[in-house]
Chains A and B, each alone.
Chain A
């Protein structure tokens, strides 16, 4: 094929491009992923029953602050990294901040408690359920967001994949927080933080394979 022929083909009857389509596709994928995750969570587990107690509500807000603290900046970074060369203008190292913050809080909480309580604070009642639920429920949001990112043009597939995993994990953890009755800070740091990080790691591994264009 001659390049001139390709150019005449591509340049024939060019359609106007909707400038807002790019951000709209990505943000609606995140929203759809979130709805699916919340729906799946409510359907399988339901909301925790003790929400009328003040302590439960505070813990719920803390968990949501943690997951939103990941979700919002990660979505902003994803929009940047989905444009060619976006990784040159953005460092995603800031995404470590919510994790560092929750680990510090967990450390403070542990140090102010007697060591005989540590075991219970760290493993809670439902650590296994948390460990399995968050990554499982993250699968559908992950697929939806990957589908949307495949329509863009990321040039750093590892970081972009990591961000998609991070968002999917945070969305899933947000849903799980509505159900989960383990409220200690070390539990949140380890099982929420750990599973979200795991989703991000999986995303980084799958990114170059799923997002190639």
Chain B
């Protein structure tokens, strides 16, 4: 989103939104690149910040087409899962916000399609709207993590349970699951992708 040159000296709402976006862009991008380098705290903070923006975005989108706002939390979680499992598709030379927005919009359209809504309902918007509302009023999503985990193959479930839920190191998890350390890492990656796939499959039915 660009502010046209010479659009007036006074600070218009448009310009305020633009400057807020620049600030969050720089901050979020910093968190993202730190996370890509293996900084867990930065990655967690990124997902937390994104959850607020995504919740605001989906709540307004869904309300506009008279959909239940509780679906928003499902979508927030799907996008967070996608941002995490597909973070290697972000190129650090590019802007970060359009990358997240593309994922958020893709998931919105996919959601409406899966739940058999008419695509005429898909609102027209742009990347600016993603950052328009920061909403931290959280409800629980319809997904039950432990029930979802039970649908994964044992080796993936064990790796995720140890490293991601119990906070063990990869070395400890390898001993616990009886595999190598590299297998644990691969199983976490595959397991989280499989988790997203299970969610998608449940939505279709």
Q: Which positions in A face B, CB cutoff 8 Å?
A: 1-19, 21-22, 82-86, 88, 152-153, 155, 212-213
Contacts and interface: CB of A to CB of B under 8 A. Distances in A.
A12 to B, nearest CB: 5
A11 to B, nearest CB: 3
Contacts of A16: 36-38
A88 B163 contact: no
B140 A2 contact: yes
Given A1-B145, A17-B88, A83-B89, A11 B43 contact: yes
**What is the size category of the interface that chain B forms with chain A?**
35 or more
Given A11-B44, A212-B200, A213-B196, A21 B88 contact: yes
Given A15-B185, A212-B200, 6 more contacts: A10-B81, A13-B164, A83-B91, A83-B94, A153-B103, A153-B106
Nearest to A155: B106
B126 to A, nearest CB: 10
A208 B192 CA distance: 22
Contacts of A1: 77, 140-141, 143-145
A86 B190 CA distance: 24
B141 A3 contact: yes
Contact of A10 (B39, B43, B99, B101): B43
B21 interface: no
Given A11-B44, A13-B163, A3 B89 contact: no
B141 A4 contact: no
A80 to B, nearest CB: 10
Contact of A6 (B38, B77, B103, B169): B77
B40 interface: yes
B198 interface: no
Interface of B: 35-41, 43-44, 47-48, 51, 55, 73, 76-77, 80-82, 84, 86-92, 94, 98-103, 105-106, 110, 138, 140-141, 143-145, 160, 163-165, 167, 169-170, 185, 188, 192, 196, 200
Q: Which among A2, A12, A17 has the greatest number of chain B C-beta atoms within 10 A?
A: A12
B72 to A, nearest CB: 10
A149 to B, nearest CB: 11
A19 B36 CA distance: 8
B39 A88 contact: no
Contacts of B82: 153, 213
Contacts of B185: 15
Given A1-B143, A84-B102, A213-B196, A7 B90 contact: no
Contacts of A213: 82, 86, 196, 200
15 contacts: A1-B140, A1-B141, A1-B143, A3-B77, A6-B81, A8-B44, A9-B165, A11-B44, A13-B163, A16-B37, A19-B88, A21-B88, A84-B103, A85-B102, A212-B110
Given A6-B145, A17-B36, A19-B36, A85 B164 contact: no
Q: Which among B38, B47, B76, B87 has the greatest number of chain A C-beta atoms within 10 A?
A: B47
Given A6-B80, A9-B145, A14-B43, A82 B36 contact: no
A137 to B, nearest CB: 30
Given A10-B81, A10-B164, A155-B103, A88 B98 contact: yes
B163 to A, nearest CB: 5
A124 to B, nearest CB: 43
A19 B87 CA distance: 10
B196 A4 contact: no
